Amino acid sequence: MSQHYAITMPQLSDTMTEGVVVTWEKQPGDKVERGDIVATVETDKAIMDVEVFKAGYLAGPLADVGATIAVGAALGYITDTAGDVAIAAGEVVEEQAQTEMIPHHAGTPVVMPQLSDTMTEGVVVTWEKQPGDAIRRGDIVATVETDKAIMDVEVFQEGFLSGPIADVGSVVEVGHPMAFIVDDAAKANDTGVTISAEHKVKDIHKVAPHAADKPATIPVPKAAPAQVAAAGNQPPVARVPGRPASPYARKVAAQLGVNIAGLAGSGPAGVIVAADVARARPSMQEVAHSLPQVDVPGQGRNMTSMEKAVSHAMTASLTLPTFNVTVNIDTSKLTAAAKANKVSVTVAIAKACSVAMAKFPRMNWAYQPVDKLVERANHDFGVAVMSNDGGLVVPILHGIEKKPLAALQGDWTGLVERARVRKLAPAEYSNPTFTISNMGMLGVSHFTAIPTPGISAILAIAANGPQGTPFTITGDHRVLNGADVALYLATLKQTIEAPENWISGEASGARSEAANAPATHGAPAVSPIPEGNWDFPVVVVGGGPGGEDCARDLADHGIKVLMVNNEPFPGGECLWRGCIPSKAWRAAADVIRNRAHDAEMGVDGTNTPKLNWAQVEKHRRWVQTSRGEMALKADKGMKIDVREGYGEFVDAHTLKITPVEGEPYQVTFGAAVIATGAPAFVPPIPGARENLASGGVVTSDTIWNLAAPPKKLGIVGGGVIGVEMAQIFRDFGTEVLMLERHERILAEIEEEIGKVLIASLEKEITVVTSAAINEVSGKPGAMKLRYANKEGIESTFDCDVVLMATGKRPDTSRLNLDKIGVALDGAAIKVDARCQTSAPHIYAVGDVIGGYMLAHTAATQGRVAADNLLGHASEYDQDRDCGVTFSRPQAGFVGLSVAQAKAKGIDAVEAKMPMSIDAKAMITGETEGMIKLVADKASGRIIGVHYLADHTDTLIGIGVMMVAGEMTLTQVAKAIFPHPTQTELFGELARRLLNRLRRTAKK
């Protein structure tokens, strides 16, 4: 059934009640993309463009040009059906299409950035540039006050600043324009509307009168509907008779846990739409505003954004049922130890809280509506600091559980400096997991602090008295009970009063390697392997990189481990069907490809290399079997009980093993680790699955059986595996056609790197994107791939074989996970950062848990699971993970891209350097590509490195160490790199980025 969305006349100011349609920029039936301008309207202030954020087709009936349309009424419609130019009277309109209004011909808007999760609006504090000023990428044009701090607004577009610009002091909603950038100084102006408080749609929350006979009315703000995106595959909630709701609204309701029976609908004919559901989970601001308000005499002034944010959070804290527990602690030894170790007492107390919390992880959890608990292992503690203007700012010390004191002190020094002048980046103050407020220095004898939604406990430290220093925790009773807090405080008391047990060497991070590894904090190790008379304390199911690394770490620590793998040798997909064989082929292909440069460098006669397929295969198999035998020998040498067979769970502590020969048998275990990987997934394209058996269609599991490189190869899927295979076979002389159903291949690669690589790839092979693959047919050697391109034109590609490179998907259907209480998230096993599943004694690692499906990721997670089973809290941190695409040139990533960092609220900056200016690359003729360095602007830490370069597989090691070691731009800028090597680029990049930051830094 078609879905229609109304484009409505928005309310652009408090005074606006209607608008006049000036032009239609699109006609009924035209395709509309997100961000297209479909019409212009005249409001009581200016002519504005109507920009829509819903893809589809414009459909009538459209409001006539010149017609006056009331705010909220439809101007026209967007439908998802091509050719549907007018929707019929009475047809159901699902939702409003999201729209944005921008002054007509004003230029590219500079919008109010969302600088934290909670930020909904910002106040313009200063304009650093004036209309008419030239703007360069990275310039700071204004500063704005958010609900937490004063922040710079940086633009990444060249041009000239132009009005209308928001007045200093005006409140602008997130996403709304503050000013514009035009491409010509002559076009810059400061006329027209003033984008100020008038342009912001003010919330008008009121308390809804309760009527017993009607569902409670949720106050509907005048603002644009709350933007909600339903994620995941959760099925929509069931329809409720008498409460019509759009399918999307029911999906959002499932995601947010909202009961739609109690909602009023604001859609056509009272239909409940997604925005109604979103409003049922109000923000702190909405909660604060919807509480009954007591009138107060006098002339009030408007609160600043920060005052408002505190007021909203404090009112929202009334939704937490709290209680207080106090113990007195002698802090003298900790104070002395902090001094001896050259760290502040604040940092030492935060670390002590973390050490004690390792035993009481619940203190770090939070209540999430409705009836959910967020179980967090990351100790990111907010610590209250007085800012220079007397307000309270709460910067966050991140990763306390895994950082040594010295590193924490380094973090803290920078945080305090920035907190005092309210210059914190959003990630530095958003989402603490626990909070500490120390008023000891102010001489208070006792006080309590208020936890707000998002944490379950806050610690208030008063001044030292005759009985010691009062430490009071206010806890959320939905997450914690009195005993939890009492026991935690008792442990905290021990930890603080005997710092010598955990603090020695912490400060310098100079604990011995043995003491440091694998523990990530100073808490005594308590293994969570359940006690019992088990055949094996731990069984590991699957012997790929994830299972094998886990089993090895456990065996290394004296744990008796059984590893069952349904293949004769360990190594999994990586060794037998993945990384190793594909790179053996790539190595041969590299030799062929590299010869192309020989003549350039003055060596003739090498450019007609000939492929000896039999030898390629012999070499590949030799590498595989040698490594398989080595692995098995090492596993057995480490006393892992390696068994060949298929494992499936019988109950929470019993595994059934079906060997290749002989009868199935059972073993009992205390804890288990599931590392069963993810096989290649073939979508149900007609003929794709049906031709697997004949070998006419192959996957990454079966391509290794090819008797010779095909003359013509059809590849369905433009991900990393498809691209690697395409270039390997191209180098072997194969003609390759690649079909991708999405708009872009290599969607997982950083955008700019991806674009350059795709352009390079398209010179070698034919790539058809937005392709519909209609059928695969034929027999090996004579296959037909029938597909249609973006325009719908059908073609057929005749080839020898079709490779379905359409992704991998975990298959846990035969593991009996329901018998052991292990939950799934889609096809993958759901785990937390410790790789623990919903059954506390079962862990899962590697491809079977989704995320990055890479061998080193699986191995890392295997070691994380082992650490946790050994009682040492340890987490997998995707933000420091890395990967190489073995294309030519090779693409690679470490950590975060700028876009990923910004999505996490990190104010990130990048610098890039093309390989074409590197001396060594020029010498070897390997000048294609670039290297990018991404840094956190606030701390100067390197948080990402991105590559497109020959030898990325080696150069990436430097990026890995920079990101893992949390190195700063200054450290890398000062490091000495040898000349002439491609490593010099890293020093240059760091120096360039530092200089840029210095230039744009505000005095």
What residues act catalytically?
979
- Distance separating alpha carbons of residues 7 and 41, to the nearest angstrom: 12
- Distance separating alpha carbons of residues 51 and 68, to the nearest angstrom: 19
In a 10 Å sphere around its CB, with 0-12 CB exposed, 13-18 middle and 19+ buried, how is residue 430 labelled?
buried
CA angle 647, 623, 956 (to 5 degrees): 90
Residue 103's nearest CA partner among 20, 174, 47, 36 is 47
Residue 312's nearest CA partner among 290, 285, 282 is 285
Q: How far is the CB of 829 from ligand FAD (least distance, A)?
A: 11
CA angle 809, 813, 816 (to 5 degrees): 135
Exposure on the CB side of residue 194, measured as CA atoms within 13 A: 9
Footprint of ligand FAD on this chain (CB under 6 A)?
541-547, 564-567, 572-574, 577-579, 582, 646-648, 675-677, 700, 721, 815, 846-848, 853-856, 858, 886
- Distance separating alpha carbons of residues 515 and 523, to the nearest angstrom: 12
Question: How many residues comprise the chain?
Answer: 1003
Q: How far is the CB of 313 from ligand FAD (least distance, A)?
A: 42
Q: How many CB atoms lie within 10 A of CB 34?
A: 12
Distance of CA 627 to the CA centre of its chain: 35
Residue 242 tokens, joined: 């008498």
CA 432 to each of CA 315, 384, 742: distance values in angstroms, whole numbers, following the listed order: 18, 11, 38
Who's near 459: CB < 8 A, 6+ residues apart? 353, 434, 435, 436, 437, 449, 471, 472, 473
Helix (H) or strand (E) holding 491: helix 482-497
Q: How many CB atoms lie within 10 A of CB 902?
A: 17
Residue 592 tokens, joined: 């062929």
Residue 246's nearest CA partner among 227, 266, 231 is 266
Largest CA distance in the chain: 95
Q: Is 72 left (phi over 0), alpha (psi -120 to 50) or beta?
A: left
What are the start-end ranges of the E strands in 551-621? 561-565
Residue 408 tokens, joined: 């924490």
Question: For 257-384, where are the alpha helices, taking DSSP H only?
Answer: 274-279, 284-290, 305-316, 332-340, 345-357
Q: Is 130 left (phi over 0), alpha (psi -120 to 50) or beta?
A: beta
DSSP string, 818-868: GGTT--EETTEEP--TT-B-SSTTEEE-GGGG-SS--HHHHHHHHHHHHHH
Report whether 94 contacts 5 (CB < 8 A). Answer: yes
Report whether 10 contacts 45 (CB < 8 A). Answer: no
- Distance separating alpha carbons of residues 225 and 80, to the nearest angstrom: 20
- Distance separating alpha carbons of residues 933 and 911, to the nearest angstrom: 5
Q: How far is the CB of 900 from ligand FAD (least distance, A)?
A: 19
- Distance separating alpha carbons of residues 884 and 571, to the nearest angstrom: 19
Q: How many CB atoms lie within 10 A of CB 583?
A: 18
Q: How far is the CB of 858 from ligand FAD (least distance, A)?
A: 4
Report whether 898 contacts 753 (CB < 8 A). Answer: no
Who's near 165: CB < 8 A, 6+ residues apart? 127, 131, 178, 179, 180, 190, 194, 195
β-strand partners of 667: 655
Residue 700's nearest CA partner among 595, 557, 804 is 804
